[in-house]
Structure 1
Amino acid sequence: MTDFPAPLTGREQDETQELRPKFNADGLIAAIAQDATTGEVLMLAWMNAEALKATVETRRATYWSRSRQALWVKGETSGHVQQVEDVLVDCDQDAILLKVHQTGGACHTGRQSCFYRTIGADGVSLSVAKD
C-alpha cells in the first residue's frame, strides 16, 4: 500500500500545503467524479491509497472496488474512460473531487451520470430525473 503522511489535527490539517488524506477505518476515501466542462456530478466511488496515487500519476481515474476488493481503472472494460483534468481535496482531506473528461456514460447502467433518479415528495418513490 502507498503511504501518505498521517493527517494533522484541526486547523493544521485544514491549512497544510501537503497532501495528507484522511482515509476511513477501512482505508478508503470518498471520490466524486465531476464533468470538467459542464460541472455535472457523474458518480461517487471509493479510493484507497494506491488508487489515489495511481490517479494522480496516470491522470486516469482509478478506484477501489469494495465488492471485488481490487483496484479498477474506470473504463478498462467498458471503454467509458475518465481522463482526469484536476484532483481536488476538501478542507480536512477526507474527500476527493476529480474533474474529468468522461468518454461514454459514467454509470454502469450506461447513463451519463449515476445520479439520474429523484426522490418523490412522499420520501420513498423514485422517478427518473429529466435531462
Structure 2
Amino acid sequence: MPDGITIAATDEQLAGLKYNSDGLITAIAQDVDSGDILMLAWMNEESLKMTFAEGRMVYWSRSRQELWRKGDTSGDRQFVKEAFYDCDADALLFKVEQEGAGACHTGARTCFFSSFG
C-alpha cells in the first residue's frame, strides 16, 4: 500500500492562500511518476489541512457540499508526495501516487481524456 507524506506548511503560507468567494481553492492532482495531470478538484481550508495532516488527498465536493477523501468509495486513493502553490497563491498542485484504476469518477486513469478537434 502506498504511503503519503505529511506536509508542514507554515502559518504564513496558509494565511497567504487566496480562496474564492465560496472559500474554495483549485487543486490539481498530478501523477508523481508519469507527470500526467489526473484531475482538478476543489479544497476548502479544512480539506487542505486534513490533506497535509493525513498525507492523503481530501477534497471539497461542491455538488454534495461535503468533504470527501479520494478513494473512500472507489478504492482509487491518492497519496501526497509533494505539494506546491502557484505564484498568485490561488491554485494548488499536488504530486500524488495514484492507487487503483484511476482518478476519474468515470473509471479512467485521468479526467483529461477528451481532446478538441
**TM-score between the two structures when normalised by the length of structure 1:** 0.78
Match of 1:45 in 2: 41
Q: Separation in 1 of the partners of 2:89 and 2:56?
A: 20
Report the equivalent of 1:64: 60
Q: Secondary structure of the residue that 2:115 maps to in structure 1? A: strand
Map of 1:110 onto structure 2: 107
Structure 1, unmatched stretches of 5+, are 6-16, 121-131
Gaps of 5+ in 2: 1-9
Alignment correspondent of 1:88: 84
Q: Give a deviation string over 1:85-124, Cα, whole Å, max 9, x none.
A: 011111121000010000121000110000001011xxxx
Q: State TM-score, norm by structure 2.
A: 0.87
Q: Deviations over 1:45-103 (max 9, x none)?
A: 00000011111111100000000000000001110000000111111210000100001
Calculate percent identity across the aligned residue pairs: 57
User: Relative CO higher for 1 or 2, CA cutoff 8 Å, sep ≥ 6?
Assistant: 2
**What corresponds to 2:50 in structure 1?**
54
SS at match of 1:52: helix
Q: What is the aligned-residue RMSD (CA, Å)? A: 1.4
Q: How many equivalent pairs are there?
A: 106
Distance 2:95 2:51 in 1: 12
Q: 1:86 and 1:48 mapped to 2: Cα distance? A: 18
1:18 to 2:10 alignment: no
CA apart distance, 1:43:
0.2
